Amino acid sequence: MSDRLKLELADELGFGDTVRTKGWGEVTTRQAGSLVRAAIKRAEEDLAKGEQR
């Protein structure tokens, strides 16, 4: 997964500012799990549309 996509998803989930100011090390386990779930959902939607990221 690209860094751009990870940051985009973090923004959508509400912790992008934390990543920008403090780094990925400050992301909680719950936030990381949410990011993974959002990435999987996005990939499934893209595959359903016939696209690839």
| Tokens of residue 7, six digits | 């940051």
How many angstroms separate the CA atoms of 14 and 32, rounded? 12
Q: Structurally, how many domains does the chain consist of? A: 1
Report the pLDDT averaged over residues 17-24: 97
pLDDT computed for residue 51 by the predictor = 59
How many angstroms separate the CA atoms of 11 and 46, rounded? 19
Taking the chain, what is the end-to-end CA distance rounded to the nearest angstrom?
A: 9
pLDDT computed for residue 1 by the predictor = 87
pLDDT computed for residue 50 by the predictor = 84
Q: Kindly tell me if the per-residue pLDDT of 29 is higher than 80.
A: yes
Range of the domain at 15: 3-49
Q: Reduced to 3 states, what is the DSSP secondary structure of residue 44? A: helix
